[in-house]
Amino acid sequence: MMFDFLHTLILFLLCVCWMGPRGMTSGNLSHFFLLFFFLFLCDFLFFFLSFFLPFLSFFFFFFFSLLLFFFFFSFCLFLLFMFIWPSYTVRGGGRQARRIVFCLHPLYLPMTVDTTLFCFETNRGPRTRHDHDGDHCRHARRQQARSGLFHLPHGPLRTPIFMPVATQAALKGVTVEQLEELDVEIILGNTYHLGLRPGEDVLNEITRLKNLQESAAKGNEAHESQPLRIRNNMDGIHFLQGWRRNILTDSGGFQMVSLLRLAKITEEGVRFQSTHGGNGGGVQMVQNNNNNNTNNSGDNNNNVAFNRTEECMEYTLMLRPEDSIRIQNAIGGDIMMQLDDVVHVLTTGPRVEEASKRTVRWLDRCLSANMNPDKQGIFGIVQCGLDATLRAECIAEMVKRTACKGYAIGGLSGGEAKDDFWRVVAQCCKGLPYDKPRYCMGVGYPEDIIVCIALGVDMFDCVYACRTARFGSALTSTGKIQLTKKAFANDMRPLDPACNCRTCNSFTRAYLHLIATKESLGSTLLSYHNLAYLINLTRRARAAIEDGSFTEYVQNFFVSYYPKRNYPQWAVDALDSVGIELL
């Protein structure tokens, strides 16, 4: 009896090792049970027949010995996958390693790595030989910076990453080809603006044409003509702007602050006065007469909400959580942000708690409204201003919504003290799940990005790079410089000797001073450089994390960016909280 139990246990463990640690998922359990049943059946068959045909007993013991050998062999591969594979795949060498293990693995049974969409693999870098020493060990435990690989429909996202902002499907002064030249992996679009122009009708028409094209390609006759050819893997806003990579769409919640005088917020949603005065792109149509009676329009093709007065026609847009997600589904963003109730970061009192709890309720409505959850993931947004208690409650509620593909830290970069800023970021990073990306919204200053990476943030966005370029400012490794100053009129040095972008390789500071704010080319060249600087900043941070030199990278950045060593105290305190001491 004990022999039979031991025999069955070995079969079970063999199957576990054969499947691999990442193969034991719900999608592969059927493979596991089939494998276990097959081995058990073969073993039982040999064992049963050996009673009637004694010469088969040799085959039974041979088969059992072979199973033992495979068990120990597979157990070694199991350990290989557990302790070596995860960090290796994050660094980009996983495909070759997988090919080697497949060749070694008996019967080529599925030992698959989970690369399903929205899977986020993280890595805090290699262990060093000092990790078990006193100070080094304490530092290793406190380090929060991590690199990651986030699998998205239009290609993987390597984090930490800076995301350029194309609010209305375009970056001011920068073309799509230039973004591809910089190897940008994701850009942002804004639901409020894209919902107004071009609107849902145009975006849905592109998707309809793509579906017709795919249907025709499969051999089915399309009943309607196709006036344009939709490029592969491109629909919605991807096609309109010719962008083949990932897009993150903001929900329109930020406009509650930036357009506060034009917005009215209720539990139902937020009602905006349109800044475009035109097609509202797919949200509720409401007509208000002089007596303020509200009626639903019967025109289903024009979904703009508007108010009519005797003097003029004014358009308003009613944006509910369901409307925001529906528009984002039409836009085709790979990552969609929930509609959140945004209040200014310095707001205090009951309004902050109301916004926090409403944001959680709206998240539930957003998740329920998503019509394409397999290819468009939703990020939840942590709100609550500077109130640590309310923010902790919001985080606790957010992490319960496991359908979220990631989480954003919202409500910051609105004029709060930097000391408050980093403490909120640190609190959120400690409370949010480790296995999902963290996105700090609206952060674009180089020193802010470096500090937030050290605290555990993965994704950043800001209009700062292009906006400051239009005023003649350039971000360099030695700090920001204002090229409109006369001091640069005869400066023949490259813009930033440490930068290898096209602007720095081709133009001098003197030339950029000449055209900085006088010619549109000046804005284009500086925008291109500033984007290159921030993208390379996060890219080098990722490389430093992966090779174990992130502390040195942060120290060298601050020494270069602040040559006089006049570091801001908030940055010193923030980095000290994660064990990084500036030089």
The alpha helices in 243-387, defined as continuous H runs, are 255-258, 321-331, 350-369
Nearest to 124 by CA among 506, 547, 417, 570: 547
Please provide the DSSP assignment of 70-117 as one string.
HHHHHHHHHHHHHHTHHHHHHTT-HHHHHHHHHHHSGGG--------T
Residue 458: CB atoms within 10 A of its CB come to: 27
Distance of CA 177 to the CA centre of its chain: 22
Nearest to 194 by CA among 264, 270, 152, 255: 255
- Distance, in Å, from the CA atom of 520 to the CA atom of 9, rounded to the nearest integer, reads 73
- Distance, in Å, from the CA atom of 89 to the CA atom of 151, rounded to the nearest integer, reads 12
Nearest to 385 by CA among 417, 338, 339, 363: 417
Coil, strand or helix: which one is 169?
Answer: coil
The alpha helices in 378-489, defined as continuous H runs, are 388-400, 418-431, 446-455, 464-469
- SS3 annotation, 414-445: CCCCHHHHHHHHHHHHHHCCCCCCEEECCCCC
Return the structure tokens found at 25: 């998922």
Q: Can you tell me which residue has the tokens 């997988």?
A: 98
Q: Which residues pair with 246 in a beta bridge?
A: 186
- The one catalytic residue in 43, 235, 448, 461 is 461
Category of 188 on φ-ψ map: left (φ > 0), alpha (ψ -120 to 50) or beta: beta
> 529, exposed or middle or buried, with CB in 10 Å at 0-12, 13-18, 19+?
buried
Q: Which residues pair with 162 in a beta bridge?
A: 460
- 250 is a catalytic site residue: yes
Question: What phi, psi does 539 have (nearest 5°)?
Answer: -65, -40
- Distance, in Å, from the CA atom of 193 to the CA atom of 397, rounded to the nearest integer, reads 30
- The one catalytic residue in 43, 250, 341, 448 is 250
- 4 is a catalytic site residue: no
Active site residues: 250, 461
